[in-house]
């Protein structure tokens, strides 16, 4: 059987190589072909199938072949997108942004050439810039669509391709938002219909926008805040080797805050992300340099963006001086509570895997609430009057009229506004969390995340959870089991004080179980309730690991 597989792999690789417009990728494939049969497994993986649009668009390893991010794949993706836009009758320019990852600028420029080759105007952002600036530009320039070349917080060997639809195609609630079905399937079908990457007509490099688009974003970001609010706050900040630093510092200045202290060895864009194992502020150790700087500078608040600055992480000092990162659910509820108190009208939304506390907060305050599937492409479509949306993975939308996606810059500004206001009262973010806990109980959340090398392991674990579901959790009978198959691979278990949501990650080779434990606060003793909740999460983690067999 091995020689037959080798022949099949060789034929697929030779056909791709002949059509690949990138000399470096052709050389990479030629070397693998020449080493067959030893490379049969590697080549089979590269030709197992094309990358598809997941939770956050097209994303994969930088490597030659259809199952990777490379110039041929990007050429086909751009041609399919541009062709689909024409089929929909969409008029207007395509706006394109890119981060500082390997290949990002090249992929963005190729996308522009494909667009102009098809007769459509292409507008490129003037430099490496955050994803929220691209999302803003789609709306500000009345573009038919937008492309952002980024892999967000993925490892250095990855890159990706996010697609946004403008008002002409996205509808009133989807204006400037990421694609959802059926658009994603339609674009994928159009990509499959591109017969040859080398045969795609290429035009000029498009128009490089000037700095007015960034200035407009910064001005709008600063205007999200109350102009009369306090600004006395000392902030430490890191962009984690990404592209958010310049934009965040400019936005802080425009809003009237002092310049944050920036982690020096993480300040400049670097596609290798040399100081972190994973460039994701959720990962253990990723914020170590930041909290060290915050301690040295006596900061009130520590803020991190992920590499494309669509996410925002915050750490706060404890009574003992140790810094504690806030969970995404904690910051999400703090921001929602702040906006509700500020009188921001509209619907407040989160996802099925986020804490249930936002729903309880909205019910108590008489504010509309919505819950969606995972992903900001769903959150921003939760309601046409969306006021705020968040997901537990450090994504926050505090200004949906400006950016209809998660935005780590405006989130950072808003949490700074909240912290500065509390500081004038001698209080902190931690104090406000305690007040919410007294009112609603401690809603403690955690995540069991399992990274795999073989995606089949995820399917096997989900199968085990479905065939042998948990009957009890933390000693209490499971009162509700919700299985969202076949529409979505999501499984939920509930008891009166516990919730578990299990799903595969849409952006990484991970299986995720989202854990929540609710503990009432007796006699105002928040610390005791938090201790009970922490112990409950540990028990729950072990129980769910056993159910999944991981």
Give the strands of the sheet with 395-397, arranged side by side: 369-372, 347-351, 386-391, 395-397
Q: Are strands 177-178 and 158-165 parallel, antiparallel or unpaired?
A: antiparallel
**Measured distance CA(403)–CA(394) in Å, rounded:** 16
**Measured distance CA(460)–CA(257) in Å, rounded:** 51
Q: Are strands 145-149 and 158-165 parallel, antiparallel or unpaired?
A: antiparallel
* H/E stretch holding 541: helix 526-548
Distances (CA, A) of 485 to 79, 247, 351, 503: 33, 41, 17, 11
**Measured distance CA(538)–CA(474) in Å, rounded:** 10
Tokens of 346: 């509209």
**Measured distance CA(549)–CA(469) in Å, rounded:** 11
* H/E stretch holding 208: strand 207-208
Tokens of 527: 């610390």
104, 152, 354, 505: which one is catalytic?
Answer: 152
Tell me which residue of 43, 40, 53, 128 sits closest to 84, measured CA to CA: 53
Contact status, residue 129 vs residue 148, Cβ threshold 8 Å? no
**Measured distance CA(339)–CA(220) in Å, rounded:** 17
Break the chain down into helix, strand, coil percent, rounded to 5: 40, 20, 40
Residues contacting residue 331 through CB under 8 Å, at least 6 positions apart:
312, 313, 314, 390, 394, 396, 411, 415
Tell me which residue of 254, 173, 249 sits closest to 220, measured CA to CA: 254
Establish whether 534 is a catalytic residue.
no
Q: Which amino acids are annotated catalytic?
A: 152
């Amino acid at each position: 059987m091995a020689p037959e597989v080798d022949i099949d792999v060789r034929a697929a690789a030779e056909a791709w190589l002949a059509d690949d417009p990138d000399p470096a990728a052709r050389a990479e494939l030629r070397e693998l072909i020449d080493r067959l049969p030893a490379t049969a497994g590697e080549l089979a993986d590269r030709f197992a199938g094309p990358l598809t649009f997941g939770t956050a668009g097209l994303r994969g390893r930088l490597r030659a072949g259809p199952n990777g991010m490379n110039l041929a794949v990007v050429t086909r993706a751009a041609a399919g997108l541009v062709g689909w836009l024409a089929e929909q009758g969409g008029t207007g320019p395509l706006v394109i942004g890119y981060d500082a990852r390997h290949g990002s600028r090249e992929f963005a420029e190729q996308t522009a050439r494909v667009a102009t080759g098809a007769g459509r105007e292409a507008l490129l952002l003037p430099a490496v810039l955050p994803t929220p600036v691209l999302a803003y530009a789609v709306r500000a320039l009345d573009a038919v669509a937008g492309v952002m070349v980024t892999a967000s917080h993925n490892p250095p060997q990855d890159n990706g391709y996010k697609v946004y639809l403008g008002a002409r195609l996205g509808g009133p609630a989807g204006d400037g938002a990421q694609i959802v079905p059926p658009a994603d399937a339609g674009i994928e079908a159009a990509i499959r219909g591109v017969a040859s990457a080398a045969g795609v007509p290429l035009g000029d490099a498009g128009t490089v926008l000037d700095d007015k688009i960034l200035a407009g974003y910064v001005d709008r970001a600063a205007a999200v805040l109350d102009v009369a609010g306090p600004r006395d706050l000392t902030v430490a900040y890191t962009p984690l080797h990404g592209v958010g630093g310049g934009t965040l510092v400019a936005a802080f200045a425009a809003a009237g805050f002092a310049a944050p202290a920036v982690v020096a060895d993480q300040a400049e864009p670097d596609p290798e992300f040399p100081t972190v194992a994973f460039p994701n502020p959720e990962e253990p150790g990723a914020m170590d340099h930041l909290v060290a700087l915050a301690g040295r500078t006596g900061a009130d608040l520590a803020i991190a963006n992920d590499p494309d600055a669509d996410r925002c992480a915050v750490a706060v000092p404890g009574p003992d001086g140790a810094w504690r990162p806030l969970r995404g659910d904690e910051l999400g509820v703090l921001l929602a509570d702040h906006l509700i108190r500020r009188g921001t009208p509209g619907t407040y939304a989160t996802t099925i895997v986020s804490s249930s506390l936002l729903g309880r907060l909205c019910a108590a305050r008489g504010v509309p609430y919505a819950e969606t599937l995972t992903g900001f492409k769903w959150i921003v479509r939760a309601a046409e009057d969306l006021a705020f949306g968040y997901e537990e993975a450090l994504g926050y939308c505090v200004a949906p009229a400006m950016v209809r996606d998660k935005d780590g810059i405006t989130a950072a500004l808003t949490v700074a506004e909240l912290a500065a206001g509390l500081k004038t009262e001698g209080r902190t973010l931690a104090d406000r969390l305690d007040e919410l806990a007294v009112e609603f109980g401690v809603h403690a959340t955690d995540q069991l995340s399992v990274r795999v090398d073989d995606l089949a392991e995820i399917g096997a674990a989900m199968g085990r959870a479905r065939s042998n579901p948990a009957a009890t959790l933390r000693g209490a009978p499971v009162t509700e089991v919700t299985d969202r198959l076949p529409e979505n691979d999501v499984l939920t278990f509930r008891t009166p004080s516990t919730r578990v949501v299990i799903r595969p990650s849409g952006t990484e080779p991970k299986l995720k179980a989202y854990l929540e434990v609710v503990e009432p606060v007796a006699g105002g003793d928040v610390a005791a309730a938090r201790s009970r909740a922490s112990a409950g999460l540990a028990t729950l983690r072990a129980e769910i690991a056993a159910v999944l067999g991981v």
